[in-house]
Structure 1
Amino acid sequence: MKRPPAVVVVTVQAAEPDRTGGGIETRGIDRVPDDERHGSPRELFAIWAAPNVSYLSFVVGGTLILLGLSLAEAIGVIVAGNLLWLLTGFMAVSGPVTGTSSSVISRAMYGVIGNRVVVAVTGWLLAALYLALNWSAASVAALGMAGQLGLPDTPVLDAAVICLIAGLTVLIAIYGHGTIVRLYMTLTILLALVFLAVSVWTLDHVNWSYTPAEPPTGYEHLVVLVAGFTIVASTPLSYGNSPDLTRYLPKDTGGRAVALWTASGAFLPSVVFTTVGALAATTLDMSDPQAALESIMPVWFVPTFVAAVVVNTIANNGMTAYSAGLSMQSIGVRLPRVPAVLVVGVVGTVMTLFAVLVFDFLSSVKAMMELVVVVTGPVVAVYATDVALRRNRYDGHALHDQSRTGPFWYRGGVNWAGVLAVCLGAASAAVCASSSFWAGPVSEAMGGLNLAVPVGVLGSAALYWALSRALRTLPAAATRR
């Protein structure tokens, strides 16, 4: 068998340091040199707030009330589920230490070869599906607005709207980290103003004494509470890319600040606007949330609201596409970062066109996304556990060594502790999961109780901890002190 080269990595250097965000970022997964590090943890708040000042939060909040929860129960579930953003923040601390992306850092968890498989599924395929799902939803909102303005409902218009939204998203991802840092502060302020206005109008229609018409009781009550928690928790568990947005910070940046600014940027707007969605559902029919919310706002404000929905989607998908381009490089695709982003964007756009123009692909994607936490939960858990076990002591240079003699080759290029923890954790979560089209045997035996999140997250973390010690895959330095 031919011996692989000592280091296999795309090594395109940035044309200029990523300081102003004024040009296209050409740096890929190669390590950011110390003299190009800049910024402070405070900038992470806006980076994570812009995607989470979200119309989706209204939808999720309304869904909790539709499930039969009381207002107090819904708010409790919202806070509890969003606490998982702390995991996203904790993962982010590995970015400044290594100066590289999460899809490279995860070689420590899965090995050089094993990591390619895991990242191909979780960092690329699922990313493309998320792009399609979000673009489809935003396109439907924009096309509805176009219909109200009297524009003809034609496939040409549909395709033009989809391509415009996708193009703006990909443009943000192409310009990269510096542009995201600068642009998302402005987007956070503008989106917050729009959704706060919607919230004010919503508060005029809240039934503060609301009680469910047929509240669940007994064991069914527990099933509904856990189902609501799973819905809320699925959003923070879908973000395993937080180190990608911290890799340009100085190496000595405080980990606590990185974790808290990241987590709070997502947590605060998610809690506020999901709660508003729950409040709205006390009097409005949130089975059609867009129509319900538009019914309580002035007619002149509706186009602004729809525009905000689209802009929020662009902000969310811009971050996703950016990380997906890095993931493509890390699995061995020999493309510079910009072409890699374009490939991801084209794939996501094609999926979206099929969803809106050809067949009900969106329903299939939504059904699959109900179970995506089965995979994302274990992956996030293993990453966070590895950061804790190694005490965030990673060597950015060593992570790029893909040779058989490198520290992350393990056995045959696979760290079986990480691979088994994710696979067994995902399998365990699947048999404990419950959705509109799938009920695992354990969940079915327990009356529909969905334990996918606690089993997947806690089970995978415990497995990885035990297997890492049993297989001795952690360096001795990581277990001292």
Structure 2
Amino acid sequence: MTRGDVTTSGLEGALETRGIEPVPEVERRGHPMQLFWVWFAANISILGLPLGATLVAIQGLAFWQAAIVALLGSVGSFAIVGAVSIAGRRGGAPGLTLSRAVFGVRGNAGPTLVSLVSRLGWETVNTTTAAFALLSLCTIVFGTASEAKAAPALTIACIAVFVVCTVIVSGLGHRVLVAVQRWATWVFGALNVVVAVALVAIVDWHAVGSAPPASVGAMIAGVGTIAAGTGIGWANASADMSRYQAPTVRAGALVASAAAGAGIPLVLLISLGALLSAGDPTLAQAGDPVAAIRVMLPAWMAVPYLVAAFGGLLLSNHLSVYSAGLTTLTLGIRVKRVYAVVLDVVVTTIGAIYFMLVADGFYTPFITFISLLAVPITAWVGVFVVDLARRPRYDPDALMDTGRSSGYWYRHGMEPRALTAWGLAIVVGYQFVTAGEGEHAWFAGVFADSWPGTNGLGWVITFAVAAGLYALLGSPERR
């Protein structure tokens, strides 16, 4: 049997030494409340506020509509995350490793690469944003330069602090990550509450009460916007955390832990962003949302706000980097898991340095790039979920065997029906996408000007095509 991955034993003390090999059932002792705290912590970032601002300032929703949209979009999308995490409990392996059973041990390289690039991209966003927050904090406390390019050494130090804090937790692995996410939620969650109270005090309540409601169509588009900006991006990472869940854990409990864990903070933050934007639309248009929110606050709130922003981004990055390390191993890079984590953060560190010290702009073009990756990721979710509904189990030996003897070799290492559904869904999905804004758009699909296209619902069509086509084409014999 050909083994294409580094395999080690599981958890040794605080350090997780297991790679991507399935966790034996005797070592799966997790429970849904662990995942509740993991998802809660990953979504208490203050950056949920600009999402809510977008619903009001750009899509024209009244506050009560935005609150409903926040509930449906965030809870609904993380219910999908919870559904995908069922695969982790069932197979005991990371999501992209389990994906080998669907696409073949070679065919899975495409979805895995897309997932890794997406994770690295969002980690670069987190690192850059957190470094800006820390740089602002240094300006307040020590009187240093506020511009990154005016203080390159300090900027690199700010990036390094965030990266080191990320590696300490993500490198140690699952046990430490679960514990840190739980307890840090109380600390940074409390800070976010303090910041939220200060922000509520400046809400223009007259503007909130007098805003006319938008159409039902605008609300539907809003749900799509929130779902794409929250849960959909986490779906391919969900099984990475649930692989330690006990086999007796019910599927419904996994769905509920993700939907409630992420939904509670997201609904509150998105709704607050909608309240703020009712009287001041600048938050939705800000290139640097962290700085835009700081301007709204009284001077005495600047320090706790920046600490809360830094902490929220760090908690999100812990989970993303941990997942990226496992995805790197699935791609075939033969290193230990902890070294895969270090390799991933080296890439995001270089990216953050470039965007802070070299490039003239960052958020708009980079978020556009990340948004484009949402199409192939959603196509993967569509195929994977249909397969999960039909698959009773995963073969642990076949998952780790990347040679011709693997039970998931199929045809030349690829499963044609899954890859066909995935590829065609991507092509269709991109026809509803525009990359860039206005005159600066560098790509526009054939149906980009249609109602689904202009309202950012291309990912919904992508999911429907991928799931529907794969269901029609059929699937291989389950192993």
Query: Does TM, scored on the shorter chain, surpass 0.5?
Result: yes
Question: Which residue is equivalent to 2:92?
Answer: 99
Match for 1:440 among 441, 445, 465? 445
Could you list the per-position Cα deviations for residues 290-335 of structure 1 after superposition, in whole angstroms to 9, with x for gaps in the alignment? 4554355443332121111111111111111111111111111111
Q: What pairs with 1:346-361 in structure 2 (closer than 5 Å)?
A: 346-360=346-360
The more displaced of 315-324 and 194-203 is 194-203
- For the pair 1:136 / 2:128, whether they are aligned, the reply is yes
2:30 & 2:223 partners in 1: Cα distance?
Answer: 35
| Contact 2:62–2:213 (Cα < 8 Å) also in 1 | no
In 1, Cα distance between equivalents of 2:297 and 2:208: 25
**How do 1:180-259 residues align onto structure 2 when only pairs under 5 Å count?**
180-210=177-207, 222=217, 224-225=218-219, 227-234=221-228, 235-239=230-234, 240-259=236-255
Using the TM superposition, name which of 396-405 and 36-45 deviates more: 396-405
Find the residue that maps to 1:409 and give its secondary structure. Answer: coil
Q: Match of 1:80, SS? A: helix
Contact 1:443 1:451 in 2 (8 A): no
SS at match of 1:406: coil
Mapping 1:288-303, distance limit 5 Å: 288=286, 289-291=289-291, 293-295=293-295, 297-303=297-303
Matched, 1:416 2:416: yes
Match of 1:381 in 2: 382
Which residue in the other structure is 1:321 paired with? 321
Give the TM-score normalised by the residue count of structure 2.
Answer: 0.89
> Equivalents in 1 of 2:40, 2:460: separation in Å?
26
Q: Is the 8 A contact 2:21 2:396 kept in 1?
A: no
Q: Identify the residue that residue 90 of structure 1 maps to in structure 2.
A: 83
What is the distance in 1 between the residues matched to 2:247 and 2:461? 34
Q: Give ranges in structure 1 of 5+ residues lacking alignment.
A: 17-21
Count the aligned residue pairs. 459
Output the amino acid matched with 2:164. G
Q: Deviations over 1:341-361 (max 9, x none)?
A: 111110111011101011136
Structure 1 contact 50–316 (Cα < 8 Å) conserved: yes
Contact 1:109 1:386 in 2 (8 A): yes
Determine if the alignment matches structure 1 residue 461 to structure 2 residue 461: no
Q: Deviations over 1:255-278 (max 9, x none)?
A: 221221122111121111111111
2:269 is aligned with 1:273:
yes
Q: Which amino acid aligns with 1:454?
A: V
How far is 1:453 from its partner?
A: 2.3
Task: Provide the rounded CA distance (Å) in 1 between the counterparts of 2:209 and 2:380.
Answer: 36
2:10 and 2:23 in contact (8 A); partners too: no
In 2, the alpha carbon distance for the partners of 1:384 and 1:300 equals 48
2:72 matches 1:66: no
- In structure 1, distance between residues paired with 2:109 and 2:246: 28
Distance across 1 between alignment mates of 2:131 and 2:300:
20
Gap change, CA 1:43 and 1:119, over 3 Å in 2: same
Q: Which runs of 5+ in 2 are unaligned?
A: none
Separation of aligned partners in 1, 2:231 and 2:156: 31
Shift in Å at residue 378 of structure 1?
1.2
Q: Is the 8 A contact 1:138 1:309 kept in 2?
A: yes
Q: Deviations over 1:135-167 (max 9, x none)?
A: 111112221222233113411011110111112
Give % identity. 29
Match of 1:166 in 2: 163
Task: Report the aligned-residue RMSD.
Answer: 2.4
Q: 1:98 touches 1:251 (CA, 8 Å); kept in 2?
A: no
The residue aligned with 1:19 is: none
CA positional deviation for 1:211:
6.1
- CA deviation after TM superposition for structure 1 residue 11, in Å: 1.2
C-alpha deviation, 1:113, in angstroms: 0.1
Answer whether contact 1:226 1:450 (CA < 8 A) is retained.
no
Normalization by structure 1: what TM-score? 0.89
